[in-house]
Amino acid sequence: MDLKNKIVVVTGSSSGIGKAIALRFAQEGAKIVVHYHENKTGGEEVISEIRKIGGKSLLVQADMQKTENIEQFFKIIVKEFKTVDILINNAGNPAEISPFFESPQKDILDLLNINVVGPMLCSKQVIPIMKTQGYGKIINTSSIKGWEHGGGSITYAVSKAAINSFTRTLAKQVAPTIQVNAVAPGYVKTRAFDNQPQEKIDKWLSGTYLKRWITKEEVADAFIFLAKNDAMTGQIIYVDGGFTLK
């Protein structure tokens, strides 16, 4: 797929990996829908950077835990751009609010809602649009923690394993019109690691074969690859420095 002038929706794109994805697609000439929940300032900064490289973008707020917000989100997008060519389900929480064995049910459900139910509901919204136009791509953000032996916090690992299953199962349901794939990043230097002790970080990175952080830009390149490739569906690409070789 040629990405020039394609309408690309990137949820959770006001910072971190989502921001890198949005900017990378803008560099390819796509029109970007930048989404934020609370970080409006970050979203505006992404819009500003896209405009600097001559791209077109739209900033839209939505709470991805609320069905009515998601429905309104896509109404705004379709009103502005008429369609959606690529949906990137990136919005999510990086960790549990409290340790699993101390977590109240609400904390567990909140994380599952944003990490799993949100992408499912967003996909439900775009699939009729994509079927009508005869093509479309959905790319989910997974994680090495969703791999069979990913480890980490329990609810987060469960949520990303669910995204892997959702990716494969949905790919079967919507083929051949729509392709569904996922990118599973390894240890990427984002704000989620700012308060982690260096000893723990060294242990994590030493558990990979490349012995280093993965950059946000390297992850974004994997999304570009899947967006351009027309022969893959139901696949999870691990951008993990060799973590899953263990």
Query: Residue type at 148?
Result: E
- The token pair at 133 is 């136009």
Interacting residues of 132 by C-beta distance below 8 A, sequence separation 6+: none
Give Cα 99 to chain centroid, integer Å.
24
φ, ψ of residue 242 to 5 degrees: the values are 90, 10
Angstrom distances, CA of residue 74 to CA of 81, 137, 168: 10, 16, 24
Return d(Cα 150, Cα 141) in angstroms, integer: 15
Query: With contact defined as beta carbons under 8 Å apart, do 159 and 111 qualify?
Result: yes
At 21, is the secondary structure helix, strand, or coil? Answer: helix
Q: What is the 3-state secondary structure (H, E, C) of 193-246?
A: HCCCCHHHHHHHHHCCCCCCCECHHHHHHHHHHHHHCCCCCCCEEEECCCHHHC
For the chain, how big is the Rg over CA atoms in Å? 17
The residue from 36, 156, 187, 238 that is catalytic is 156
Contact status, residue 30 vs residue 110, Cβ threshold 8 Å: no
CA separation for the pair 155, 169 (Å, rounded): 21
Both structure tokens of 56: 């077109």
* Dihedral sign from CA coordinates of 189, 195, 201, 202: positive
**156 is annotated as an active-site residue:** yes
Residues annotated as part of the active site = 156
